[in-house]
Structure formats: C-alpha cells, structure tokens
C-alpha cells in the first residue's frame, strides 16, 4: 500500500488481529505433539496479540484512523503464514458482518442485491479511506484496479479480504449460500482483480 495520511479505520486492523486469534486455537497444540514446530505459527495465542486487540478496540471506539503503513505491517505478519488466505478471508467476512445491515426480507431479491452493492462500495470506502473497486456490468461483478492489497502481497492472498467481504455481504444481506470466486488477478497479469458471484451455487 502506498504511504498516505491516516485514513484507514481502526476496525480493519482489529478484524485482522481477531482473525489471527480465531485461527490460532489452543486445540492445535493438543493435536500436534511437535510443539516447537507449531509454536512459531501460533502468534495469535500470544499476550502481544491480546494487548493489540484491546488497543485497537479502544481506537475503533474512538474512531481513530491509521496509516496504510501501520496496516501493512500487520498484513506482512500474516503473509508469512501458510494459512494467510484463510485469515484474510475471515478478516473480510468479519468486517462485512459488522458493517452491513441485515437482510431486508420484504424487498424483492433484485432490490436487496442493488442495496447490498451500494453498501459494499460505501462501507469499503469508509473502512479504507479511499475508493476500493466498483461494480462492472453483470449481476454481481466486483473489480479492483491498482489494488492496494496486491501492492502489499504479490502472492494475491491479501485479496481474499475482498472475497470474504463480498461473500459475507451476500450471505447477510441478499441470500445464504452464494459463492463468490476471484476470476481475475493483477498478480497474474490481468488488468483488474475481479470477483463474481454465482447465484446458482
């Protein structure tokens, strides 16, 4: 992510830290006798993460904004992990669960979808302090060019933030069981990163 003023909501880093903690279950120690092998990956169990979670909860309550460099530092810790894609996906889902309204069941499905797409655009902008993508033609086709996530993570795993966000948004606001898949990626030489929802899945 390019260096900029403090414009990222503290909720973003908080969601990342909580996703790390969720993934790092104490049960995994019991399931694996080789503690010294699993210990380095169990970052989320540490008191450091607990303190950081409490710190960012306080910052979120105070509507503190962070710099892109601050968020990038935490993201780089996750990128080193073999389960980085899952963590970023859970982070995105958690953000959507907190940011977006519940399903307006009295509206027809196409209006629920239209309402949700508008909410996705506006909530991502509020969270990241800048425009993050937009919708192309199609029922649900979300595209991001010059992705800030790709700039941090050349593997593309950080893009799973968007996958988790869109999937949870559709689950919560439109209909359950919708699949969202990433069809294109700037890391593969495509012009944009593109996510498509399969409404028949």
For residues 87 and 44, give the distance between their C-alpha atoms in angstroms, rounded to a whole number: 11
Q: Is the pLDDT of residue 31 over 90?
A: no
For residues 54 and 48, give the distance between their C-alpha atoms in angstroms, rounded to a whole number: 10
Neighbours of 114 (CB within 10 A): 14
pLDDT recorded at residue 27: 52
107 φ/ψ angles, rounded to the nearest 5 degrees: -90, 150
The chain-wide mean pLDDT, for the chain, equals 86
Alpha helices in the chain (DSSP H): 10-23, 27-31, 35-38, 47-61, 68-79, 84-99, 109-128, 148-152, 160-173
CA proximity to 162, closest of 67, 91, 79: 91
Max mean pLDDT among 28-32, 145-149, 155-159, 168-172 falls in 168-172
- Angle, helices 84-99 vs 68-79, to 10°: value is 140
Residue 194 DSSP SS3: strand
**pLDDT tens-digit map of 56-79:** 999 999 999 999 899 999 999 899
């Amino acid at each position: 992510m390019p260096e900029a003023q403090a414009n990222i909501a503290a909720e973003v880093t908080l969601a990342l830290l909580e996703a790390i903690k969720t993934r790092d279950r104490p049960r995994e120690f019991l399931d694996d006798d080789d503690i010294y092998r699993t210990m380095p990956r169990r970052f989320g169990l540490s008191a450091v993460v607990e303190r950081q979670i409490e710190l960012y909860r306080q910052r979120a309550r105070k509507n503190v904004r962070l710099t892109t460099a601050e968020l990038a530092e935490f993201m780089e810790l996750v990128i080193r992990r073999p389960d980085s894609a899952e963590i970023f996906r859970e982070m995105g889902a958690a953000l959507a669960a907190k940011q977006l309204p519940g399903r307006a069941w009295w509206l027809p499905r196409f209006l629920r979808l239209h309402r949700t797409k508008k909410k996705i655009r506006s909530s991502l902008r509020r969270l990241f302090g800048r425009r993050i993508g937009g919708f192309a033609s199609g029922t649900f086709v979300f595209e991001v060019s010059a992705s800030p996530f790709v700039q941090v993570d050349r593997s593309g795993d950080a893009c799973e933030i968007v996958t988790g966000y869109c999937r949870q948004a559709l689950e919560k606001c439109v209909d359950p069981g919708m699949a969202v898949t990433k069809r294109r990626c700037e890391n593969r030489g495509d012009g944009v990163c593109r996510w498509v929802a399969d409404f028949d899945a």
